[in-house]
Structure 1
Amino acid sequence: MMRVNEENRSRPNAGATEPYSIFDKRQKALIVFIAATAATFSGFASNIYFPALATVASDLDVTSELINLTVTSYLIFQGIAPSIWGPLSDAKGRRVAYCCTFLVFLGACVGLAETWNYTTLVILRSLQSSGSASTISVGSGVIGDITSPEERGGYMGFFQAGLLAPVAVGPVIGGAIAASLGWRAIFWFLTIYSGAFLVLLIISLPETLRSIVGNGGARPSNPIAKYPLNFYQKTTKVKFTSQVEPIKATEKAKIDVTGPIRILFSKQATPLVVFVAIYHAVWQMSITSMAVLFQNGYNLSEAQIGFTFVANGAGSIIGTLITGKILDVEYGRAKADHAPALSQNGSEAGIEQSQENNLSFPLEKARLRLLPILALLQCMSILTFGWTIQYRVHIAVPITTTFITGWTAVSIISIVTTYLIDVFTEQKAASSASLNLARCLLAAGATSIVTPMTRAVGTGWTFAIAVAVQLVALIGVGIQQRFGCKWRVAAEKAKRQADLET
């Protein structure tokens, strides 16, 4: 029998009678809070370290270029690791993936707190990234599990806002800790934080993977997938019956480690992924260079440098919250405009028509319309950032531009992540991992060359060149808006045909 895509259950006129998720608003809020807090570790481990870069270089007697390579190595593994953990969470469950990643992160933090060697620092930062970066892709999978497309943008906005809190407060905490206790104390802080949160996660987060628990009504047999507070799950006000049949004991979910790569190079994703990767890379170039540029140009201390990152973090949080709500409004408008007239008699023809309607839903219109505006705003802010620093304009001006850059960069990532989850409904974490892979690997290369570039051509021209590349990348958005629906329909029909043949 033809398998109906799980997203179609929640789309207009799909004919579903059961709720997409049994979790009510308060339960969803708790789950999103836990997932967002888990995702903060990737940001904390990255941003808390920035104010101490110059101090670490001096302490280990290496150049700033070599210390920047610790940022580069972190970004490389931040891109690679989710390609393993994401498919694991899509196959074995979100809780299993979370437990494994946090154990890796915890061990790396202890090692970093005790390291006195540059090579060890690079290796352990890579390991730390492998443990923390995947919390974002796994968390994106959790949001996709419990939210229907109509509400997904808003919840994704809350998720992104929560995980971006470290962008605002991480550098402040890092600067204060490094100035008072030394840079190694930063990693002891992360050790304590991650250990305490791992206990909270094990106790409080339910399994959400739909192939294991359906809409939340099924009870997992895997002991790791169970959680002590599952009685809270039973207090839902939503009436439900089991939405999907439990996986048979003889079946083994396969971990598809090539899934993120296939998604990365698929027509439904490639134009947008390249676009996001470039904009994210330029954003990371500006963040990574801030500490050195502000220290050299404005003679700031470590603690003062930490506070300069607040505007970037605040813009990231505020922007993604607002953008998430706008996404829900845009989806609602597209849904109302679509409003097909379908057969109401429950006949096979009516069901087929409903499925065809779901395939042709104008998802690109609902999700991607904001991207060109956000992209142009980011280009303007990056250009202003570079030239105002070069000409030593009052520091308030470049700091203000980082607020706009943070707003636009993270909103772009949030929009595209939501879109990919909508498209690749059975590989939610893997789709997020594919985006993460591209943007982090490109950012790794960009951060490794930003310092040599600023020395060679100046800060202004460095970011002017970056903006030129961004403008070219905007073509990818136009391609996706023009051909995305056609590609989605063709891919889904091919998938259905393959299901029929098997």
Structure 2
Amino acid sequence: MPAEDKNRQIQHDAPKSTPPASAAADAPYTVFDKRQKGLIVLIVSTAATYDLNVSLELVNLTVTSYLIFQGIAPSLWGPVSDVKGRRIAYTCTFLVFLGACIGLAQTKNYATLIVLRCLQSTGSASTIAIGSGVIGDITTRADRGGFMGIFQAGLLAPVAVGPVIGGALAGYLGWRAIFWFLAIYSGVFLIVLLLLLPETLRSLVANGSRAPSNPLIRYPLKVYQKLTKVEWDPEAAVPMPQLAGSRRIHVTGPFRILISKHAAPIITFLAVYYAVWQMSITAMSTLFEDRYGLDEIQIGLTFIANGAGSMIGTLITGKILDVDYHRVKAKYESRSSSANVEAGNGLSRVTTSQEDNFPLEKARLRLVPLFSCLQCVSLILFGWTIQYPDHVHIAVPIVSTFITGWTAVSTQSVIMTYLVDIFPDRSAAASASLNLARCLFAAGGTSIVMPMIDGVGVGLTFIICVAVQLAALVGPLVQSKFVGAWRREAEKQKAQNAEPKEQ
């Protein structure tokens, strides 16, 4: 076949949306400008507030079942959102949540209450995984930490205000009012979400400039494209290569990530720390009531410190993550550029080499040991001060919960950002795997914390918890020392397998 005909045949066989390589290289990572990114993050952060847990203390026998389903549900919705789109996944989860809240507000027996609480968890918990996927879609590693911090702050707002609202509604209007409140809240927000949140999944809309045929996905993306300050030819915007063929929903994907050697050490570590944090939160109501004689509304107010620490901590940590990334990247580029630059193709070779060999674990996980040790100290302070209420003012254990919330959520923000970095094509599934581990660990921890306190006392209970946490520090050590090399080797093998074989 003549060369000209052969080239024509290759162009005919290639996907029509695939642009010339030079055009794709010039495409911005996303067409959403800073203000649009801010609005998108605000929407997904608000969506995450539906994992409110405001009534866990009021119906505390449902805590374990709620946490189990809270862990399992994102393993379904995360892969769905990674393939079918963020808007479709959000719409389905909110419809489930809305229906469950209406049912809970009218339930008349305990068995139905348990079932509907599990269904409610199935709808609400997935917003975290989907939201993490959205953040991964519209951000690069260079600015992902800050946006992830804002997202985490939004989803943690209920930790501060949820118990207060729940306590007030239950105290004055009865516990059913909580679910009517959530039903109205979710119904209104679903309308807002459908009107304002654009589709961001890169395998469907590339960098935001591709218009898919599905009308549910296309709107309001077209509005954002018209308003954006970034002008780009839609034909030149292509999905990332690793996303282009990802059209099957793998429900087992989060589980495979969970047990993979690339993620298991750090996920297990976080699951332990999250479980202990949830154990302290679960015990707070009973302990403050028994030791300090607080009523329901006063108990709700004690949760503000924990929630405030969580929100402030993740906002600051997100900014630190971005600073750390730029610092490590600048140092790495200055060391490696001279060795990688070659005449005629220097820039592309440097970029490729740096992406493959960049010390991501060093850039992302530096703060984990610091946060871990501070959390351990705050838990010991909480356990031993609340054990002696006659000798210690209530402000001391409350302040300790502020530190615990700050460090626990900051650690979570660091690790969630890191997982989105190393699984860019499965960001929602990666978040779901983290959620699965932490919720299952938390379900076990919250079911035994009060029997432990009754058996050995508050102080010794949290000494045991801290000992387990210190042992879990092996996870970040393994992740930092070995996983970077394992990950780079796997990426190299994947690239070799993807290369076309000569006929």
The answer to whether TM tops 0.5 is yes
Structure 2 residue identity aligned to 1:130: T
Could you report, residue by residue, the CA deviation over 1:167-214 in whole angstroms, capped at 9, with x for unpaired residues? 111111011101100111101100000000000000000000000000
Q: How does 1:139-288 map to 2 (within 5 A)?
A: 139-228=131-220, 230-242=222-234, 243-245=236-238, 253-288=247-282
Counterpart Cα distance in 1 of 2:344 and 2:462: 58
Contact 1:51 1:305 in 2 (8 A): no
Residue matched to 2:413 = 414
Residue matched to 2:74 = 82
The alpha carbon displacement at 1:494 in A equals: 1.7
% of aligned pairs identical? 62
Contact 2:76 2:251 in 1 (8 A): yes
* Distance verdict in 2 for CA 1:435–1:246, change over 3 Å: closer
Q: Are positions 1:122 and 2:114 aligned together?
A: yes
Contact 2:361 2:479 in 1 (8 A): yes
Residue matched to 2:297 = 303
Contact 2:203 2:246 in 1 (8 A): no
Contact 1:51 1:306 in 2 (8 A): no
Residue matched to 1:405 = 404
Residue matched to 1:375 = 372
The alpha carbon displacement at 1:460 in A equals: 1.1
Residue matched to 1:487 = 486
The alpha carbon displacement at 1:487 in A equals: 1.2
Q: Are positions 1:357 and 2:354 aligned together?
A: yes
The alpha carbon displacement at 1:51 in A equals: 4.6
> What is the aligned-residue RMSD (CA, Å)?
1.9
Residue matched to 2:83 = 91
Counterpart Cα distance in 2 of 1:245 and 1:378: 44
Contact 1:312 1:403 in 2 (8 A): yes
Counterpart Cα distance in 2 of 1:399 and 1:477: 29
Contact 1:203 1:229 in 2 (8 A): no
Residue matched to 1:52 = 58
Contact 1:36 1:160 in 2 (8 A): yes
Residue matched to 1:31 = 40
* Distance verdict in 2 for CA 1:22–1:414, change over 3 Å: same
Structure 1 residue identity aligned to 2:136: G
| Counterpart secondary structure, 1:253 | coil
Structure 1 residue identity aligned to 2:315: L
The alpha carbon displacement at 1:221 in A equals: 1.2
Could you report, residue by residue, the CA deviation over 1:272-314 in whole angstroms, capped at 9, with x for unpaired residues? 0000000000000011111111111111111111100000000
Counterpart Cα distance in 2 of 1:223 and 1:485: 41
| Counterpart secondary structure, 1:52 | coil
Counterpart Cα distance in 2 of 1:229 and 1:214: 12
Counterpart Cα distance in 2 of 1:328 and 1:202: 31
Contact 1:218 1:246 in 2 (8 A): no
Counterpart Cα distance in 2 of 1:449 and 1:75: 14
| Counterpart secondary structure, 1:164 | helix
Counterpart Cα distance in 2 of 1:302 and 1:116: 23
Residue matched to 2:449 = 450
Structure 1 residue identity aligned to 2:424: T
Counterpart Cα distance in 1 of 2:42 and 2:429: 21
Q: Are positions 1:473 and 2:443 aligned together?
A: no
Counterpart Cα distance in 2 of 1:102 and 1:360: 41
| Counterpart secondary structure, 1:391 | coil
Counterpart Cα distance in 2 of 1:203 and 1:253: 26
Contact 2:31 2:207 in 1 (8 A): yes
* Distance verdict in 2 for CA 1:501–1:263, change over 3 Å: farther
Contact 2:70 2:125 in 1 (8 A): yes
* Distance verdict in 2 for CA 1:172–1:477, change over 3 Å: same
Counterpart Cα distance in 2 of 1:357 and 1:246: 21
Structure 2 residue identity aligned to 1:359: D
Residue matched to 1:63 = none
Unaligned 5+ runs, structure 1: 2-14, 54-66
The alpha carbon displacement at 1:267 in A equals: 1.3
Structure 1 residue identity aligned to 2:44: A
Moved more, 296-305 or 189-198: 296-305
Structure 2 residue identity aligned to 1:75: L
Structure 2 length-normalised TM: 0.90
The alpha carbon displacement at 1:226 in A equals: 2.3
* Distance verdict in 2 for CA 1:385–1:28, change over 3 Å: same
Moved more, 381-390 or 126-135: 381-390
Aligned length in residues:
469
Contact 1:388 1:397 in 2 (8 A): yes
Residue matched to 1:134 = 126
**One of 290, 294, 308 as aligned partner of 2:284:** 290
Contact 2:375 2:408 in 1 (8 A): yes
**One of 297, 304, 327 as aligned partner of 1:333:** 327
Residue matched to 1:107 = 99
Structure 2 residue identity aligned to 1:129: S
Contact 2:32 2:224 in 1 (8 A): no
Counterpart Cα distance in 2 of 1:110 and 1:147: 36
Counterpart Cα distance in 1 of 2:246 and 2:480: 38
Counterpart Cα distance in 2 of 1:143 and 1:175: 32
* Distance verdict in 2 for CA 1:401–1:82, change over 3 Å: same
The alpha carbon displacement at 1:50 in A equals: 3.8
The alpha carbon displacement at 1:244 in A equals: 4.0
